[in-house]
Structure 1
Amino acid sequence: MAGLYRSRVAGIGSYLPEKVLTNQDLEKMVETNDQWIVERTGIERRHIAAEGETTSDLCLHASQRALKDANLNPEDIDMIIVGTVTGDRQMPSTACYLQSKLGARNVMAFDLNAACSGFVYGVSIADQFIRTGMYKNILVVGAEVLHRFVNYKDRETCILFGDGAGAWVVSRAEANDPNIIASTHLHADGDLAELLTLPGGGAIMPQSQEVLDNNLQYVQMKGREIFKNAVRTMALCCKEALAQNNVTPEQIDWIIPHQANKRIIEAVADQFDFPMERVIVYLQETGNTSSASIPLAFDWAVQNGKIKRGQNILLTAFGAGLTSGSILLRY
């Protein structure tokens, strides 16, 4: 019966590749400098997957840590959702590769493409399956190997992106458990699809020599328009979550926004007069890791004693599509 059950965050984990690409490294590759990058984005370094290291490999590390945190085994998982735009292959799904590497049972596994909103979308889907009573434990992963889709001659985009993975085990909550996912809110506006895109390699423009010659296999974005719409959509999603749950900003312990640009994060916080001291910012270490950014930042904040059980957390994201979403939960 719909609404019979509620879900909770039972376990979390994350993984960053060992190799680090600093702003000083980028100075040697493209016309830019550390001060310019930090002032405009807040990013100081980003992690880069090693040669041969795949998106599903990153998923595996983060998932194993989340399962350990939840005190569960792979065979306890009822479904696997991987949010990614940089999957191992166009087919099969990275979730199926992850299922195999984990040694999970023959359960439902699929990839979800909502770009930087992918993890928020994935958690929302997991929440719905648990609410209906169909499943008890769902593994949700956000993972990207973005550096392989970045043109390191384009200084507007190459400074932004990094690789990483974050995972949650979303489980059925006990009836008296106060630490639950309160609500999720998802949106998309396809009229703005061309603001952030990877033109080549799909059905519109299959991979070809022309695609390679024109660098269409790399991420392209219109930064100014993205900035404006990112602030607008994330703020709206936050207001939607607060209104539905009759919660004020003062009752929120932490906001974790998608980690794309520090100026965007500051602008979103300003919409609520929300103090930056209660906004989780981790992009200085990771850059924009797309669907991985929120679970990476969440795990970092827990490991560093910021986020604690029983606190009210508001997640918000935007991504190519343009997609957007928010989640209000009590951790």
Structure 2
Amino acid sequence: MSRAAVLCGLGGWVPAKAVANSTLAEQLDTTDEWIRTRTGIRQRFVIDPGQATSDLAVEAGRRALESARRTREHGGADGGPAPDVDLVVLATSTPDHPCPATAPVVAHRLGLAPVAAFDVGAVCTGFVYALATAASMVTAGLARRALVIGADTFSTILDPADRTTRAIFGDGAGAVVLRAGRPDEPGALLGFDLGSDGGGEELITVRAGGSRQRSTGAPAPEGDEWFSMRGREVFTQAVLCMSRSAEALLDGIGWRGEELDRMVAHQANVRILRAVGEQLGLAEDRLVVNLDRVGNTVAGSIPLALADAAASGGLRPGQRVLLTGFGGGLTWGSAALRWPELHVEPVPGLEGDEPAAAPDTHP
């Protein structure tokens, strides 16, 4: 039987500082109602001064590794002897430094060096791209066990005066452990669909700081150092691309949309989640939603939602689960698996606050 990458550990992490909509309303020209009715978000978490993406990635990674260990001890999805992790892939658009990559630092701090470690940059689709990359290396025999992390600290690149982006984005991280196994095992990644369209690069961007701007030798125009997004166009493209990607993947593995038990999509906007769910014929109770409590955590979004739902019982062994994301680039991607039995601890700061059904918003 062919080799497969099997999900066997899961963990999430958010910073200690929660920022409610009411706090933003005091700082900006906005209200709690304006934010909730347009996005479904009521709070987000942000790092303290001096913290960085690697700090969140290390904590999420540590919890995923512990989840794999405990799952193995309890005879769950990781039932055999555990080889050491020999690959770390970090999805992020907010690395600690432009150079070097952040993944080697994370691997070192977790005591995993000298394993292979590198970053993947696909913005909000980053985790799906990283998952596909690591799974391919496992199935090809280049790695036996991989730690895949999605982590971002978008609070560091948001314009302090922009009420729209500051309302949407939060900081957070999630991680999974993959091991070599069989395609018929629960937790085996059954397939991927990935795509991009660089013609839409201006829809989601930070214009300054890269080689194109720096090569001019001129200072960046004011405001270009901050993240920007053309919201209406992004909304349309996100629904279209995630729906098409999900449908292509489901066709490829022989599943129908209505057979899905859970869709864990990138947590961007609750209206986007609903629209994609409708395209796939899913009732709202099959959508995993935690953006109301964490906001859009970019590459951390999907694995953080997985950890949150798994710890609260929202994901159960045997369920058919679809992951799908959309982000800058433009990029998009989807993955599918049958959910395994895992030991997952609640995400600190989110304990006792279960992932919601899609919250009410105005159309």
Distance 1:226 1:74 in 2: 42
Distance 2:121 2:143 in 1: 22
Residue 138 of structure 1, aligned match among 146, 154, 158: 146
8 A contact 2:17–2:47 mirrored in 1:
yes
The answer to whether residue 210 in structure 2 is matched with residue 202 in structure 1 is yes
Residue 295 of structure 1, aligned match among 300, 303, 309: 303
- Write the mapping of 1:263-302 to structure 2, written as runs, cut at 5 A: 263-302=271-310
Distance 1:152 1:125 in 2: 35
What residue is the counterpart of 1:98 in the other structure? Answer: 106
- TM-score (normalised: structure 2): 0.87
Percent of paired sites with the same residue: 36
Distance 2:132 2:336 in 1: 11
The structural deviation recorded for 1:176 is 5.3
The structural deviation recorded for 1:178 is 3.8
Structure 2 counterpart SS, 1:210:
coil
Query: Which digits, 9 at most, give the CA deviation of each residue in 1:36-86, with x for residues without a partner?
Result: 110000010000011111111101100010001111899811111000000
The structural deviation recorded for 1:20 is 0.9
What residue is the counterpart of 1:128 in the other structure? Answer: 136
Residue 18 of structure 1, aligned match among 16, 19, 23: 16
- Write the mapping of 1:133-212 to structure 2, written as runs, cut at 5 A: 133-174=141-182, 177-206=185-214, 210-211=219-220
CA RMSD of aligned residues (A): 1.8
What residue is the counterpart of 2:61 in the other structure? Answer: 63
What residue is the counterpart of 2:318 in the other structure? Answer: 310
8 A contact 2:83–2:145 mirrored in 1:
no
Which sections of structure 1, spanning at least 5 residues, go unmatched?
Answer: none
* Cα separation, partners in 2 of 1:74 and 1:181, compared to 1, 3 Å: closer
Give 2:219's aligned amino acid: E
* Cα separation, partners in 2 of 1:51 and 1:217, compared to 1, 3 Å: same
The structural deviation recorded for 1:152 is 2.0
* Cα separation, partners in 2 of 1:30 and 1:304, compared to 1, 3 Å: same
Give 2:304's aligned amino acid: L
8 A contact 1:74–1:105 mirrored in 2:
no
Structure 2 counterpart SS, 1:267:
helix
* Cα separation, partners in 2 of 1:266 and 1:225, compared to 1, 3 Å: same
Residue 117 of structure 1, aligned match among 121, 125, 128: 125
Structure 2 counterpart SS, 1:242:
helix
The structural deviation recorded for 1:111 is 0.6
8 A contact 2:186–2:337 mirrored in 1:
no
Distance 1:47 1:155 in 2: 16
Distance 2:50 2:83 in 1: 27
Distance 1:179 1:65 in 2: 18
- TM-score (normalised: structure 1): 0.95
8 A contact 1:74–1:103 mirrored in 2:
no
The structural deviation recorded for 1:174 is 4.3
Length, aligned pairs only: 328
8 A contact 2:239–2:276 mirrored in 1:
yes
What residue is the counterpart of 1:78 in the other structure? Answer: 86
8 A contact 2:257–2:282 mirrored in 1:
yes
Distance 1:222 1:74 in 2: 46
Structure 2 counterpart SS, 1:205:
helix
What residue is the counterpart of 1:320 in the other structure? Answer: 328
Distance 2:142 2:329 in 1: 29
Structure 2 counterpart SS, 1:193:
helix
Structure 1 counterpart SS, 2:167:
coil
Structure 1 counterpart SS, 2:316:
coil
What residue is the counterpart of 2:32 in the other structure? Answer: 34
Distance 1:176 1:306 in 2: 23
Which sections of structure 2, spanning at least 5 residues, go unmatched?
Answer: 73-80, 340-363
What residue is the counterpart of 1:47 in the other structure? Answer: 45
Query: Which digits, 9 at most, give the CA deviation of each residue in 1:261-300, with x for residues without a partner?
Result: 0111111111122101010011001111100000000000
Distance 2:116 2:110 in 1: 14
The structural deviation recorded for 1:209 is 8.4
Distance 2:198 2:148 in 1: 25
The structural deviation recorded for 1:206 is 2.8
8 A contact 2:83–2:144 mirrored in 1:
no
The structural deviation recorded for 1:210 is 3.4
Query: Which digits, 9 at most, give the CA deviation of each residue in 1:73-106, with x for residues without a partner?
Result: 9981111100000000011111011011111131
Give 1:26's aligned amino acid: L
